[in-house]
Amino acid sequence: MKSNQTPVNSSLFSMEGKPSLGTAMPMSLQHLLAMIVGNVLPALVLSGAIDLAAEQRIQLVQASMFIAAIATLLQSFPIFNIGAKLPVIMGVSFAYIPTILAIGVKFGIGAIFGAQFVGGIVAFIVGIFIKKIRKYFPPMVAGTVVFTIGLSLYKVAVNYMAGGFQATDPRYGGLVYWGIALLTLAVVLICNMFGKGYIKLAAILIGIIVGYVASLAAGIITFDAIGNASWFTLPSILPYKLEFPLAAVATMAVMFVVNSVQAVGDLSGTTVGGMDREATDEELSGGIKANGVVSLVGSLIGALPTATYSQNVGIVAMTKVVSLSVVRITAVMIFIAGFIPKFGAVMTSIPQCVIGGATISVFAQITMTGMRLIIQDELSVRNTTIVGLGIALGMGITQINPAGLQYLPGWFTMVFASSPVVLATTVVFILNIILPKKTIAEEKAERDAIEKK
Q: How would residue 438 be classed by pLDDT, with cut points 50, 70 and 90?
A: confident
Look at 187 and 309; give whichever has higher pLDDT. Answer: 187
Q: How would residue 1 be classed by pLDDT, with cut points 50, 70 and 90?
A: very low
Q: Within 13 Å of residue 270, how many CA atoms lie on the same side as its CB?
A: 30
Q: Tell me the per-residue pLDDT of 71-85, one tens digit each, with 9 for 90 and over.
A: 999 999 899 899 989
Query: Rounded distance, CA 378 to CA 380, Å?
Result: 5
Answer whether residue 324 shows pLDDT above 70. Answer: yes
Region 169-186 average pLDDT: 85
What is the pLDDT, as a whole number, of residue 120? 95
- Contacts of 186-192 with CB under 8 Å at 24 or more apart are 187/211, 188/357, 188/358, 188/361, 189/361, 192/318, 192/361
What is the pLDDT, as a whole number, of residue 326? 92
Answer whether residue 3 shows pLDDT above 60. Answer: no
Cα angle at 75 between 270 and 394, to 5 degrees? 50
Look at 140 and 289; give whichever has higher pLDDT. Answer: 289
Answer whether residue 259 shows pLDDT above 90. Answer: no
What is the pLDDT, as a whole number, of residue 51? 67
Region 212-219 average pLDDT: 88
Q: How would residue 347 be classed by pLDDT, with cut points 50, 70 and 90?
A: low
Task: Report the residue count for the chain.
Answer: 453
Look at 453 and 46; give whichever has higher pLDDT. Answer: 46
Q: How would residue 186 be classed by pLDDT, with cut points 50, 70 and 90?
A: very high
Answer whether residue 285 shows pLDDT above 70. Answer: yes
What is the pLDDT, as a whole number, of residue 344? 64
Average pLDDT across the chain, whole number: 83
Answer whether residue 159 shows pLDDT above 90. Answer: no
Region 151-173 average pLDDT: 75
Q: Tell me the per-residue pLDDT of 397-420, one tens digit each, with 9 for 90 and over.
A: 888 888 888 888 877 776 677 677
Whether the model pTM is above 0.75:
no
What is the pLDDT, as a whole number, of residue 4? 58
Q: Within 13 Å of residue 202, how many CA atoms lie on the same side as its CB?
A: 17
What is the pLDDT, as a whole number, of residue 169? 65
Look at 451 and 20; give whichever has higher pLDDT. Answer: 20
Query: Rounded distance, CA 433 to CA 138, Å?
Result: 11
What is the pLDDT, as a whole number, of residue 124? 95
Region 336-360 average pLDDT: 78
Q: pLDDT above 70 covers what percent of the chain?
A: 91
CB neighbours of 376 closer than 8 A, spacing ≥ 6? 139, 140, 143
Region 58-75 average pLDDT: 90
Region 351-365 average pLDDT: 82
Region 209-232 average pLDDT: 80
Across 55-59, 192-196, 346-350, 429-433, least confident range:
346-350
DSSP assignment letter at 197: T
CB 59 within 8 A of CB 361: no
